[in-house]
Amino acid sequence: MRLTGEMLIGASSVPASEGTMKALNPATGELIAPEFALGGPAEVDRAARLADEAFDSYNGTGIEERAAFLDLVADRLDGIRAELAERASLETGLPAAQFEAEAAKAAGQFRQFADVVRQGRFRHAAVDPAQPERQPRPRLDHRMQKIAIGPVAVFGASNFPISYSVAGGDTASALAAGCPVIVKAHNAHPGTSELMGRAIQGAVADSGLHEGVFSFVRGAGNEIGEALVDHPLIKAVTFTGSEAGGMALYRRAQLRPDPIPVFAEMTSVNPTFVLPAALAARGGEIGDGFAERMLVNVGQACLKPAVLLAVDGPGYAAMREAAAARVSAMGARTMLTPGIHDAYERGARRLRDSGAAAVAEGPEPEGAWEGRTRLLEVDGDRFLADPSLAEEVFGPAALLVRLSGPEQLLEVARSFRGQLSATMHLDEEDHAHAVRLLPVLERRTGRIVVNAFAHPQEVGHATIHGGPFPATTDSRFTSVGMTAIDRFLRPVTYQGFPDALLPEALAAGNPLGLWRLVDGHVTRD
Amino acid sequence: MRLTGEMLIGASSVPASEGTMKALNPATGELIAPEFALGGPAEVDRAARLADEAFDSYNGTGIEERAAFLDLVADRLDGIRAELAERASLETGLPAAQFEAEAAKAAGQFRQFADVVRQGRFRHAAVDPAQPERQPRPRLDHRMQKIAIGPVAVFGASNFPISYSVAGGDTASALAAGCPVIVKAHNAHPGTSELMGRAIQGAVADSGLHEGVFSFVRGAGNEIGEALVDHPLIKAVTFTGSEAGGMALYRRAQLRPDPIPVFAEMTSVNPTFVLPAALAARGGEIGDGFAERMLVNVGQACLKPAVLLAVDGPGYAAMREAAAARVSAMGARTMLTPGIHDAYERGARRLRDSGAAAVAEGPEPEGAWEGRTRLLEVDGDRFLADPSLAEEVFGPAALLVRLSGPEQLLEVARSFRGQLSATMHLDEEDHAHAVRLLPVLERRTGRIVVNAFAHPQEVGHATIHGGPFPATTDSRFTSVGMTAIDRFLRPVTYQGFPDALLPEALAAGNPLGLWRLVDGHVTRD
């Protein structure tokens, strides 16, 4: 597929209205062709109007029609997998092999959501049949299903240029819900984005859907994003990135005359608690495993385990040494963008300025935007005294927290803000500790992991990739996994409808064979 | 039960810290004993700390323990039904008989939520079992359930002093979800509120729950409400009332360092569309039924049908006349508060100033705060030209909109902001019209009613009492019905947990016998 650098608005390829940009290869510092078109509010308005026009027909698609479209997107992504991986590698400086896997995962998500659509449970269909004899007054027939919330704006992330980008889980789940999507791609990987955008655009056309079901815009600065969040026809926003970026969009959306949901997945240090028996039994193994996962993707992952906590005691030194050895041995690697590299250096300095001591460092970087690996350490008192030590440093650094005892472990656990995940390493003798720690973690995270590391992410029915603020702006939902679709649905009751006018999912005789709640009972009848 | 006028914070009865107030009987203008204690931020802080302390144990209650508590609240409410009804009648000027029914409904809601808790579906339990053989990498065991979001602040409404107040659906659903609740009662019915508060407080004590599960505060002005919304330990807010009031709380909550959900149910004119064949066949009957429902509770209901729309043609005159006759015949009745009465008069003037012509008026009021019934009329062009005509006038007034044709009916339907409900009166010959109107209504309302009126409200599994902004601040949820519990739940994934540490709902062998999603399949195994 030839990259033209255009934006994609409905079926059209759209040239620049606000200048152009080139992609950067952060490994070489070279700018890469072609020129990518930049747009602004005019392109957003055109895309939003098309999305609005597409809404009724796309929200009204039958289950099989919508599922087949999602499968076709998956096929199209599979068809360009090598090309995608190669371009993503060029635009990130990371190896192409990992992007082959990421592209396969992205296609897989579309197929999984196609299955979710086919199963129809996303409708949450409920039927309270008429009870003409009920006292003191009869009950009329009530039926409920969920429908799409409206056109959705998706802001792609920098760190996973395929699976959290144009063809990522946000786009897949919003399309599965019946929402037209407008993607504002991250400028760190404009070519990768265009390839995915053309794949989806092609699938829309070949499925005979309204062209407004998908658009893809690009812009410099904040203006285009603000135009998306402000547009009255946009009804929900997703974002993956920094707390500052996410909160800017969130606050702006809440100041609209009609506030809309913003699902921003922002920041998490994914604390890892090592309980005493596990520490004594296998501190070294845990320290090594922790450091290995911390360094994946040059530490640029939302699920990077960034804080390792244990009560000082048997196994602590072994854990510390193993983590230090792994960190020292790992060479510096190119980070995603110059800006991310600079923020990483500032963050690492901040940890030291807050009293964290250097335990280990990797070799001095050679390239300009390479991130040097780092392990720091602090004691529990200091950690509690300075909340900035619990803030994310995006990149290959981690903090070891040496605790004075089990009570301090609980106190430190309570001090964390909301997290995407938390981990407990434990043995059976640790269960009494774990039982006390568990409710503290439940209130603060969307996922609790035992004896493993949170990363990499599953995409399943029981997957939650979310959590209390500031991990996300809405702890009631997930951005990854099959229930991510729930973000884009809202319920409607149909009361006293004649059969001929009822939506398919609520029709008499349950022609789709859905699981429904009938008079409060789960049934497929 | 003797009213002391105190606030209830946990197990304590708390005297005034910021002065006292008396209740007003709006029918007589008399102030009623006792003196009611007013509090402020200090009482909020005390209640919030207790609620936070109660959280872990209450969120951790077993299904039967929590359900039994909710049943006990229902029993306590039943035990004071006559007393409640009498006091509510005194504080509103409305007949005691209707409050007997409202109290029965409130108790019924607690029993329904007890059943929801017993069924355990609110956990949304999902299990993705380990797949050690999966390629390219094994899947670890993932299990997901929903838990309580945290302490909830409930702001009671003025218009249903029992079922949307201290013991209303917001309190019942939040307690069912496992959230401690702090109610800020409406000052229009302080005695009714105290009676319900003491019933719940007693049930907490008799159930052996932490006292912080329920508190009840009262204050003058906005300060106490702002303190609740601002308090860092409060994790969600519910509100029923005006758009201005709801949006003030919403915007404030979004400006917190950690924004929290605010479920404000605010404003709706519940448009009623009469399609041509139904109009011709039974225009008179529809006009009469519309006016009858419009006048219920002196027009002070969120589901009051306030706008009646039809294309001019056969049956229109009959509909208009029947509605006018009902409105003319209904005498003026006392409104809930002097403030609501004055706002009603201003609203009715606004409709006239915007070009709506008076069609009918009831007899001149005798009491100071009685609302005079009114029917006004406007044509479709005028209605489209002035959006203020589509804004709610809380009280016994309605607007008839005479449309020029089917296209104008659709155009007018598209002009509405979000609504709690919309109604279509239709016959079989109207189905072609209805099919075009239906998607327009689906995008704008939470409930679509055919050939009936939206009011009164069911409380069922398929009930949605919600809708797009400004009907509510979050179209994805309902404030009435069994799924109201979903507002107060958030998902947590448990990955790789040993059986001994898994929550009951996710345990191996499904000891609670819940419906769960296992590997994407609905099962009770």
pTM of the model: 0.97
Provide, as residue numbers in chain B, all residues whose Cβ is less than 8 Å from the Cβ of A466: 490-491
In the predicted model, what is the mean pLDDT of residues B8-20?
97
Q: Work out the pLDDT band at B371, boundaries 50, 70, 90.
A: very high
- Judged against a pLDDT cut of 80, whether residue B507 lies above it is answered with yes
CA atoms of A157 and A179, how far apart (whole Å)? 20
- Judged against a pLDDT cut of 90, whether residue A93 lies above it is answered with no
In the predicted model, what is the mean pLDDT of residues B268-277?
98
User: Going by DSSP bridges, is the β-strand pair A307-311/A333-334 parallel, antiparallel, or unpaired?
Assistant: unpaired
pLDDT value of residue B93:
86
Q: How far is B161 from chain A, CA to nearest CA, in Å? A: 21
Report which of A262, A267, A249, A330 is spatially closest to residue A294, judged by C-alpha positions: A330
Q: Catalytic pick from A53, A102, A302, A370?
A: A302
Q: How far is B449 from chain A, CA to nearest CA, in Å? A: 5
B179: left (phi over 0), alpha (psi -120 to 50) or beta: beta
Backbone angles phi, psi at B222, to 5 degrees: -90, -10
The residues near B117 (Cβ < 8 Å, ≥ 6 apart) are B63, B66, B67, B70, B176
Provide, as residue numbers in chain B, all residues whose Cβ is less than 8 Å from the Cβ of A126: 461-462, 483
Q: Work out the pLDDT band at A442, boundaries 50, 70, 90.
A: very high
The interface residues of chain B toward chain A in range 473-492, judged by CB-CB distance below 8 A, are: 473-478, 482-483, 486, 489-492
Percent of chain A having pLDDT more than 90? 95
Flag whether residue B468 sits within 8 Å of chain A, measured between CB atoms.
yes
Nearest to B431 among A443, A464, A500 (CB): A500
Nearest to B128 among A119, A460, A478 (CB): A460
Please say if A458 is a catalytic residue: no
- A501 and B435 within 8 Å at the Cβ level: the answer is yes
Query: Cβ distance A84 to A196 under 8 Å?
Result: yes
- Judged against a pLDDT cut of 90, whether residue B456 lies above it is answered with no
Query: Cβ distance B32 to B191 under 8 Å?
Result: yes
The interface residues of chain A toward chain B in range 396-425, judged by CB-CB distance below 8 A, are: 417-418
- Judged against a pLDDT cut of 80, whether residue A455 lies above it is answered with no
Number of H helices and E strands in chain B, helices first, is 14, 23
A22-31, A81-90, A230-239, B189-198: lowest mean pLDDT where?
A22-31
pLDDT value of residue A2:
86
Q: Work out the pLDDT band at B33, boundaries 50, 70, 90.
A: very high
The interface residues of chain B toward chain A in range 34-93, judged by CB-CB distance below 8 A, are: 55-56, 59-60
Provide, as residue numbers in chain B, all residues whose Cβ is less than 8 Å from the Cβ of A137: 456
- Judged against a pLDDT cut of 80, whether residue A456 lies above it is answered with no
- B144 and A55 within 8 Å at the Cβ level: the answer is no
Provide, as residue numbers in chain B, all residues whose Cβ is less than 8 Å from the Cβ of A491: 446, 464, 466, 476-478, 483
CA atoms of B400 and B118, how far apart (whole Å)? 46
Nearest to B493 among A101, A144, A462 (CB): A462
| Amino acid at position B524, single letter | R
- Judged against a pLDDT cut of 80, whether residue A183 lies above it is answered with yes
CA atoms of B140 and B477, how far apart (whole Å)? 32
Q: Catalytic pick from A102, A265, A370, A392?
A: A265
A89-98, A426-435, B316-325: lowest mean pLDDT where?
A89-98
Mutate to test the interface with A, among B56, B451, B459, B495 (most CBs of A within 10 A): B495
pLDDT value of residue A221:
85
CA atoms of A169 and A299, how far apart (whole Å)? 21
* Site of tokens 């907490």: B204
Beta strands in B89-235 (DSSP E): 126-128, 142-148, 152-155, 181-184, 214-217
Please say if A302 is a catalytic residue: yes
In the predicted model, what is the mean pLDDT of residues A361-390?
96
- B446 and A56 within 8 Å at the Cβ level: the answer is no
Q: Work out the pLDDT band at A446, boundaries 50, 70, 90.
A: very high
Per-residue tokens: A358: 């250097």
* Site of tokens 């807010």: B237
CA atoms of B103 and B77, how far apart (whole Å)? 7
For A434, nearest residue in chain B (alpha carbons)? B501
Mutate to test the interface with A, among B254, B442, B493 (most CBs of A within 10 A): B493
CA atoms of A155 and A141, how far apart (whole Å)? 41
CA atoms of B316 and B281, how far apart (whole Å)? 10
pLDDT value of residue A402:
98
Query: Cβ distance B297 to B94 under 8 Å?
Result: yes
Flag whether residue B29 sits within 8 Å of chain A, measured between CB atoms.
no
Nearest to A522 among B137, B501, B515 (CB): B515
Q: How far is B183 from chain A, CA to nearest CA, in Å? A: 22
Return the DSSP state at A506: G
β-bridge partners, B425: B274
**H-helix or E-strand containing B345?**
helix B338-353
Beta strands in A247-404 (DSSP E): 262-265, 272-274, 307-311, 333-334, 357-361, 370-371, 374-379, 397-403
Report which of A194, A218, A202, A191 is spatially closest to residue A86, judged by C-alpha positions: A191
Q: How far is B218 from chain A, CA to nearest CA, in Å? A: 28
Per-residue tokens: A49: 């109007």
pLDDT value of residue B94:
87
CA atoms of A66 and A74, how far apart (whole Å)? 13
- Judged against a pLDDT cut of 80, whether residue B88 lies above it is answered with yes
Average pLDDT, chain B: 96
- Judged against a pLDDT cut of 90, whether residue A103 lies above it is answered with yes
- Judged against a pLDDT cut of 80, whether residue B123 lies above it is answered with yes
pLDDT value of residue B41:
97
Report which of A53, A70, A48, A270 is spatially closest to residue A169, judged by C-alpha positions: A70
pLDDT value of residue B135:
86
- Read off the pLDDT of residues B293-312 as tens digits, 9 standing for 90 and up: 999 999 999 999 999 999 99
CA atoms of A89 and B195, how far apart (whole Å)? 68
Q: Work out the pLDDT band at B17, boundaries 50, 70, 90.
A: very high
| Amino acid at position A323, single letter | A
Query: Cβ distance B475 to B445 under 8 Å?
Result: no
Nearest to B491 among A121, A464, A492 (CB): A464
Q: How far is A475 from chain B, CA to nearest CA, in Å? A: 6
In the predicted model, what is the mean pLDDT of residues A367-373?
94
Q: Work out the pLDDT band at A457, boundaries 50, 70, 90.
A: confident
DSSP line for A154-179: EEPPSSSTTTTSTTSHHHHHHHHHT-
Helix, strand, or coil (residue A358): strand
Flag whether residue A522 sits within 8 Å of chain B, measured between CB atoms.
yes
Return the DSSP state at A19: -
| Amino acid at position B384, single letter | L
Average pLDDT, chain A: 96
Flag whether residue A254 sits within 8 Å of chain B, measured between CB atoms.
yes
Per-residue tokens: A524: 């497929």
Task: Determine if the peptide bond prior to A498 is cis (ω within 30°).
Answer: no
- B520 and A258 within 8 Å at the Cβ level: the answer is no
- B492 and A446 within 8 Å at the Cβ level: the answer is yes
Provide, as residue numbers in chain A, all residues whose Cβ is less than 8 Å from the Cβ of B52: none
Percent of chain A having pLDDT more than 70? 100
A156-160, A266-270, B148-152, B271-275: lowest mean pLDDT where?
A156-160
- Judged against a pLDDT cut of 80, whether residue B168 lies above it is answered with yes
Q: How far is B350 from chain A, CA to nearest CA, in Å? A: 22
Radius of gyration of chain A (CA): 25
Flag whether residue B103 sits within 8 Å of chain A, measured between CB atoms.
no
- Read off the pLDDT of residues B377-420 as tens digits, 9 standing for 90 and up: 999 999 999 999 999 999 999 999 999 999 999 999 999 999 99
Q: How far is B246 from chain A, CA to nearest CA, in Å? A: 12
User: Going by DSSP bridges, is the β-strand pair B142-148/B126-128 parallel, antiparallel, or unpaired?
Assistant: antiparallel
pLDDT value of residue A339:
93
Percent of chain B having pLDDT more than 70? 100
The interface residues of chain B toward chain A in range 122-181, judged by CB-CB distance below 8 A, are: 124, 126-128, 136-137, 139-140, 142-144, 147, 149-150
- Judged against a pLDDT cut of 90, whether residue B221 lies above it is answered with no
